[in-house]
Amino acid sequence: MTLLAGFRPASGAVAALFGREELFTLNSTDISTLKNSGFTTIILFVVDVESNGDLNYNGDHLIVQNGTWVGDTGWAGRLAQLKQAPTTIYRLEVCTGGSGAPSWTNIKNLIASQGTGSTSILYKNFQCLKNTLGVDAICNDDEVQFDATSAAQFGNMIAGLGMKATLCPYNNQSYWQSVKSQLGSNCDAVYLQCYDGGAGNDPGSWNSLFGGFRVIPGDWNSDSASTVQSKMNSWQNATGAPGGFMWQYELIGNTNLASYAAAVYNGIGLHSGTYRMGNLKSGLVLDANGGGTGNGTTLIQWGYSGSTNMQWTMNFIGSQAKIIGVNSGRAVTVTGNSMSDNAPLELLDYSGATDQLVTFNTNPNGYYTPIFVSSGKAMTVAGASTSAGAAVIQYTYNGGSNAQWQFRAP
């Protein structure tokens, strides 16, 4: 089961990683390291758009031509493994552009001559890219052309193909402001380069540029993991950054990868918001049994359907948080204020009792373990079950994946 594949994580949960050739070759060690790293979003850099519309990966791999996949037939399978649970990765993006790249000039010219309809080469080639690789989004890293009209037309075409359009700016604010405005909700992430040429960027000013839409700031491997964590923390405190990203996989290396993901998470941290809570072991979400809203309704895990009984509002009170069901308005509570392992969790009117308050352990893979203040025990799926309907209980935390949860936007 793929863990909630294709959905954007909630505030504080995005950890994106750009990479190049190693994301193409993807040997078994790379796949295992990435799946356990803590990064949630992998961004393939870079797919070049040639003047005739051909798509080429990283300058030396022709992959799509005339709407047909002509690249390595094994690449899709290697990429698919990244999303196979247990994993922290749920999203795959392709980036187009980069320093000196003519892709966005070529896109502009192709749109001028063919448009973006289903018969255009851009439509056919990016449809093939999506269908072959299972791509969730196309990232715009235009550093050359800066034509907002064609960039927005392209992004809206991408949305029509069932993907999201994301942006990766470092300069030229007016261009990115115009593109984002024209894309609207078709754009769900802006990765702001805050390193190298973008080292002076202030995420807060970019947030204002986008009408309060919060950007995801990025750093690079030239900074140590501790420096990355410090920067992420300052951006979170100042702007409420919804995550962070790192450039780039090959330069960080497998040995240090998890430490950089942890730096992003520890710097950004969880904060108040509405989430769905996905269990690492099962890929299922926290749910009110039978969609119940009354006091005493037990909590289970179930496949996510979008129902509000599977959505939870977390409100921090200092370092502690209460978790309230969106559908019920009632709090996640340890039944009977029990101190024992295996005590079931239920919904109950919020009273401020310590069996309704949790703190969070941050795991190095980017998942969190809610710990009840009253008992010191963890929110856990009983018996490490992977079945829909399994009870959610409290249990002494032993590092098990059935007690690790990822917080994502509903």
Residue type at position 110: L
Output the pLDDT for position 273. 78
Q: Say how far apart CA 150 and CA 136 lie, in whole Å.
A: 21
Q: Can you give the length of the chain in residues? A: 410
pLDDT, mean of residues 357-378: 86
Output the pLDDT for position 12. 37
Average pLDDT of the residues of the chain: 92
pLDDT (tens digit, 9 = 90+) per residue, 280-296? 999 999 999 999 999 99
pLDDT, mean of residues 203-210: 94
Q: Say how far apart CA 331 and CA 349 lie, in whole Å.
A: 6
In order of start, what are the domains of the chain with their CATH numbers?
14-269 (3.20.20.80), 274-408 (2.80.10.50)
Beta bridge partners of residue 364, listed in sequence order: none
pLDDT, mean of residues 301-328: 92
Q: Say how far apart CA 118 and CA 6 lie, in whole Å.
A: 24
Binned at pLDDT 50, 70 and 90, residue 216 comes out as very high
Output the pLDDT for position 365. 65
Identify the weakest region by mean pLDDT among 50-54, 81-85, 284-288, 302-306: 81-85
- The two three-digit tokens of residue 222, written as one number: 């030239």
Decide if pLDDT at 390 tops 70: yes
Q: Say how far apart CA 210 and CA 86 lie, in whole Å.
A: 35
Between 73 and 90, the higher pLDDT residue? 73
